[in-house]
Amino acid sequence: MRKNNILLDINKLSVSIGDKPILRDLSLQVAAGEVHAIMGPNGSGKSTLAQVLAGRAGYEVSGEVRYLGEDILDFSPEERAWRGLFLAFQYPVEIPGVNNVYLLKAALNAQRKYRGEAPLDAFEFLTVIKEKMKLMRIDESFLNRSVNAGFSGGEKKRNEILQMVVLEPRLAVLDETDSGLDIDALKVVASGVNTMRDPERAIVLITHYQRLLDYIKPDKVHVLADGRIARSGGPELALELEEKGYDWLRDEAASA
């Protein structure tokens, strides 16, 4: 029963850049309806994992990543996106001259096309996005601005979550979306994520802070260190990390 619910199944994934290994034989399963948190020291490979899941080129990749039952490692980034895989970037890019709404409408309609649904026209789309913007407490002036251009760090992160709630992915990977947010923004982002919780959907939160997990209760917490999942547990693991840092894990790994 449980097996059938697995949305994301990573099996012995190894990733390197040039001859620098970053992930080594990493395995991880995420079931539909679950929220997982991935923590870990700087440079441990969390963003690399997220980027590889989303299909970024430039890595040597081996192993298997099954998503919705398919091995997706040979899929292009857009093919993965069409199947409902979403990545909120740690560093969202600025695209001058390209309107926010325009990008998001193109994105949504590309995914609708894949699903065989009719494209939304400008009016229908505006109705959708305005409602979601209200939820994310984003000002309407944002509609006419270029993608992330001149946005503050926090605004960029909020924009990522807005895109997520509009695109309604099956699997959302959020790479440090909580970093750089003030406390109010953090609550808004958390509530955005919480509205996404659904038995059909899974969310992977990459974060450094236990604080986020006060607002979004994870089902599982993993620690990524030395290129693999060094430890997994429940929410209590995050509290333990908050208290002790990562060194004890490293020591454990060294003595093992």
Partner 1 sequence: MSKQNQEIEDFVGGQYKHGFVTDIQSDTIPPGLDESVVRLISKKKKEPQFMLDWRLQAYAHWQTMPTPAWAHVHYPPIDFQEISYFSAPKSADDAPRSLDEVDPKLLETYEKLGIPLHERARLAGVAVDAVFDSVSVATTFKAKLAEAGVIFCPFSEAVQEHPALLEQYLGSVVPYADNFYACLNSAVFSDGSFVFIPKGVRCPMELSTYFRINEAKTGQFERTLIIAEEGSHVSYLEGCTAPMRDENQLHAAVVELIALDDAQIKYATVQNWYPGDAEGRGGIFNFVTKRGDCRGNNSRISWTQVETGSAITWKYPSCILRGDNSIGEFYSVAVTNNFQQADTGTKMIHIGKNTRSTIISKGISAGRASTAYRGLVKVLPGATGARNFTQCDSLLMGDRCAAHTFPYMEVKEPDAQIEHEATTSKIGEDELFYCRQRGIEEEDAVNMIVNGFCKEVFKELPMEFAVEAQNLLAVSLEGAVG
Burial-class residue 89 by CB neighbours within 10 Å (0-12, 13-18, 19+).
buried
Which of 61, 65, 81, 230 forms a contact with partner 1 (CB under 8 A)? 81
Using the 8-state DSSP alphabet, how is residue 120 labeled? Answer: P
Q: How far is the CB of 65 from partner 1 (least distance, A)?
A: 15
How far is residue 254 from each of residues 31, 231, 247, measured CA to CA in Å? 31, 14, 10
Interaction pattern, residues 53-92, with ligand ATP; x per rule: CB under 6 A: -------------------------------------x--
Task: Specify the residue, 164 or 186, whose C-beta has the smaller distance to partner 1.
Answer: 164
- Residue 42 contacts which entry, Mg ion, partner 1, ligand ATP, none (Cβ below 5-8 A, type-dependent): ligand ATP
Instruction: Examine residue 47 and tell whether it contacts Mg ion (CB under 5 A).
Output: yes
Contact 225, 251 (CB under 8 A): no
Which of 26, 47, 86, 228 forms a contact with partner 1 (CB under 8 A)? 86
Contact 210, 242 (CB under 8 A): yes
- Residue 43 contacts which entry, ligand ATP, Mg ion, partner 1, none (Cβ below 5-8 A, type-dependent): ligand ATP
Instruction: Examine residue 42 and tell whether it contacts ligand ATP (CB under 6 A).
Output: yes
Task: Specify the residue, 173 or 185, whose C-beta has the smaller distance to Mg ion.
Answer: 173
Contact 33, 6 (CB under 8 A): no
How far is residue 204 from each of residues 36, 50, 86, 123, measured CA to CA in Å? 5, 9, 10, 32
Using the 8-state DSSP alphabet, how is residue 242 labeled? Answer: H
For ligand ATP, the binding residues in 120-159 under the rule CB under 6 A are none
Q: How far is the CB of 22 from ligand ATP (least distance, A)?
A: 5
Q: How far is the CB of 86 from partner 1 (least distance, A)?
A: 8
Sequence-ordered list of residues with C-beta below 8 angstroms from that of 164, at least 6 positions apart, any chain: 86, 88, 172, 174, 192, 193, 196
Binding site for ligand ATP (CB under 6 A): 17, 20, 22, 40, 42-48, 90
